Structure 1
């Protein structure tokens, strides 16, 4: 029974999560126009003579708009623009069909709804086009409704109608830009180490997934370098943590210079621990990056670092190469370790890479520090989230590959 209750309580959440804010607002605003037909039926004098067929067509389009939005769940800009433009035309015609000028002005105020919705989540060109159309329709209604009242009153009415449309659009647009700017700054803070300005672990993980996808599609490799500052505790203990912070900043800058000098475009440089850094590059650098890192640190810093590296061969779970024994580009499988990620979470892949590179780092530390050690090549199978793993290589195939 408890399981049934949990599943039932989850239904509303799944239902509402189908809609983005813009689509939900379209459904709500369009639904609000449907009672107009009932009012016309109850009070025939509410409309101009012969207006009922046109109003019925408008209500039919409005109902279709609600159904389409509910079915799609998340309208794209084109769908929203078509439905929004049709909805505004329906509002304008409905206002025109009302016999009482006061009722016309009341309904015409609804022309501000669609541009306001557009400002909350549409592209600028869509918002601009719908706002322009809304102002034009509002102007047309003001002119035909109040032209008999004189030029001055008509002019004031046109200005008021345009203001009714423009003010919400400008305010919502400004709020949206402010929110995007704040979210952008928060995203930077969440993904960046505040001291070194490098990516932190969270920021690094968000970029590694794209790197794995690209490398797998190209049947390429990733080079991973774990960089650890030698005797960093002594720096903190003897010179203070402020000096340690300066060392961390200069190391971060040195890593950036080393990757730039070797032309490692798209390298991911991150700080993953107190004095530990991770550098990921696509493909094999023409010149050894670990050597470049050591030399750059020697030139720029008062400390040295040790580097542990590993080459990562990225393959899809159905890649034919998984049935062959020689994965190493050098033609030797001596240093090859095979890691199969059956549940491909990027954290698991990074942990696998780090585990292999850390072994090489310990070797570099044990052999005197200020040097690099390479752990060989590991093979990682990677599939995008939601991929079908029912046909991944069997255990027997894996043993044959090894």
Structure 2
């Protein structure tokens, strides 16, 4: 399912900063106390290095101001600011005369990789983590002697890598759960077809494509004949098996650019560009007869698109199309079932706008099986 990239209105209580931006703002404040300490305690820094620390603080302030201004950083912006911030941390650690203070500041190198792991592409996370590892290892080796330098380097590298790995693992797990929940919310659990909620984005895309191509839209309602008797005589498990088989037969015939969904009960919907689904109804009838031991009735409605008129609410348009197909389906049922019937009139006023949204479509009829 294709996700739209349009901008949605932001709720009033929603922050315009993402996790990375907030992390950059709060973590950048770590350089400010260093300047205060260096002013109050001159021996805190190596001799003559105060101007360098002042330059780092200025860069930090610019980083914070820029992040506050743009809100959500792009991947490139985050990479540039994050790399600059880590370089500033490394320089600060080198400037501190006390080795214990230098090690404490070196630990701050873990912040940027952890932030990257929370919301950046893998290449960005790996790049920033690698940079932080190099800085941390180099700072740990400087000033240490013998085996101690290797122990210090290993500890510093671990301090950088472990938080990033943990956050990356948590993010992957969360994305997996989110994708699973989205799939469950958008699909019918019995047949695996889209449900109404799941098909709306696809329907919107098809309507836009129809308007751009100035072609017609066709919708078919497929209803299993005498389905109630299947449940009554063979049981609900057998009825579920029939629905699954019918759904598979329909899906096998529907072209890839069309939408197929289960509306509920024994009713299915197929919607696509008219040029792509011409003759599809008869193929569905034959496929169901051949493989499912039941028959279906199909109602079809079609709407011609007028140029430049895609200004209707998607759900309203879908309801109008479906209602027209529903009336055609009623005709097929009353004519003896196991057949296709077509709506006689154009069911949708594509002039759209407020007038189209004000109209109310009466609820769809549910046919006795």
Query: TM-score higher than 0.5 here?
Result: yes
Match of 1:184 in 2: 179
CA contact (8 A) 1:225 1:310 kept: yes
Match of 2:134 in 1: 136
Match of 1:265 in 2: 256
CA contact (8 A) 2:218 2:277 kept: no
Q: Secondary structure at the match of 1:373?
A: strand
Q: Secondary structure at the match of 1:285?
A: helix
What is the CA-CA distance between 1:354 and the residue it aligns to? Answer: 0.9
Q: Secondary structure at the match of 2:275?
A: coil
- Partner of residue 371 from structure 1, selected from 339, 344, 351: 339
Distance in 2, matches of 1:28 and 1:381, equals 52
Match of 1:57 in 2: 55
- Partner of residue 34 from structure 2, selected from 33, 36, 42: 36
Assess, with a 3 A threshold, how the Cα gap between structure 1 residues 173 and 293 changes in structure 2: closer, same or farther: same
CA contact (8 A) 2:220 2:301 kept: yes
1:259-313 CA distance string (max 9 Å, x none): 2xxxx22221110111110011234237411111111111111211111111233
Distance in 1, matches of 2:31 and 2:227, equals 69
CA contact (8 A) 1:18 1:74 kept: yes
Distance in 2, matches of 1:311 and 1:13, equals 38
What is the CA-CA distance between 1:379 and the residue it aligns to? Answer: 4.6
Would you say 1:360 and 2:328 are equivalent positions?
A: yes
Count of residue pairs brought into register by the alignment: 346
Match of 1:84 in 2: 82
RMSD over aligned Cα atoms: 2.3
**Mind listing any 5+ residue stretches in structure 1 that lack a counterpart?**
1-11, 323-340, 384-388, 394-402
CA contact (8 A) 1:228 1:276 kept: yes
Would you say 1:348 and 2:316 are equivalent positions?
A: yes
CA contact (8 A) 2:224 2:294 kept: yes
What is the CA-CA distance between 1:15 and the residue it aligns to? Answer: 6.6
Distance in 1, matches of 2:205 and 2:180, equals 22
Match of 1:161 in 2: 156
Distance in 2, matches of 1:94 and 1:69, equals 22
Match of 1:226 in 2: 221
Would you say 1:245 and 2:240 are equivalent positions?
A: yes
Would you say 1:173 and 2:145 are equivalent positions?
A: no
Q: Secondary structure at the match of 2:342?
A: strand
**Mind listing any 5+ residue stretches in structure 2 that lack a counterpart?**
1-9, 357-369
After superposing on structure 2, the runs of 4+ consecutive aligned residues of structure 1 that deviate more than 6 Å are none
What is the CA-CA distance between 1:315 and the residue it aligns to? Answer: 5.1
Match of 1:205 in 2: 200
What is the CA-CA distance between 1:377 and the residue it aligns to? Answer: 3.6
Q: Secondary structure at the match of 1:181?
A: helix
What is the CA-CA distance between 1:43 and the residue it aligns to? Answer: 1.9
CA contact (8 A) 1:271 1:278 kept: yes
Distance in 2, matches of 1:382 and 1:303, equals 40
CA contact (8 A) 2:321 2:348 kept: no
Query: TM-score with structure 2 length normalisation?
Result: 0.88
What is the CA-CA distance between 1:192 and the residue it aligns to? Answer: 1.1
